[in-house]
Amino acid sequence: MGATVVLSDGQRDCTFWEVTDEAPAWATPLEVSPDVSGNPVVYTRVDVLTEVGVDGRLKTKAEVETIERWLTQQTALYLTARDGTRTSGWRIKPAPQPKIQRKEGDSPDWLVAIRLWRLP
């Protein structure tokens, strides 16, 4: 079994199989500023938009339709990463356009590449 990532709106789940990117994959942004004595201090910036890419395979057309519905309705989603960590407040980013295509051959699978975003 390959690595999986799950997106959910709390009622429906979409499982991405064989995910190529670890989500979330971005490091926390840092800022170096001097303190009152002039020594450098590293601060974590929490006011920046967070984005992650999810690129994998969906097994059913119903999951693809759910992803498309979430995109058009800008539904707030839960993201369960490979390690089981669950975070909330994600939305599917409409640009660049998500890649959704049927896998070649007789497979019923769909190849899907999307970007998710959320405010801190």
Task: Identify the CATH number of the domain in which residue 27 sits.
Answer: 2.40.30
Q: What pLDDT does residue 106 have?
A: 79
Q: What pLDDT does residue 45 have?
A: 65
Task: Specify the number of domains making up the chain.
Answer: 1
Q: What pLDDT does residue 25 have?
A: 46
Q: What pLDDT does residue 2 have?
A: 55
On whether residue 40 sits in a domain, the answer given is yes
> Which stretches of the chain score pLDDT less than 50?
1, 23, 25-26
On whether residue 120 sits in a domain, the answer given is no
CA neighbor of 13 nearest in space, from 68, 66, 83: 66
68 sits in which H/E element: helix 61-73
On whether residue 17 sits in a domain, the answer given is yes
CA neighbor of 58 nearest in space, from 48, 47, 66, 50: 66
Q: What pLDDT does residue 60 have?
A: 93
On whether residue 111 sits in a domain, the answer given is yes
- The range of the structural domain enclosing residue 48 comes to 4-115
| Global confidence as pTM | 0.76
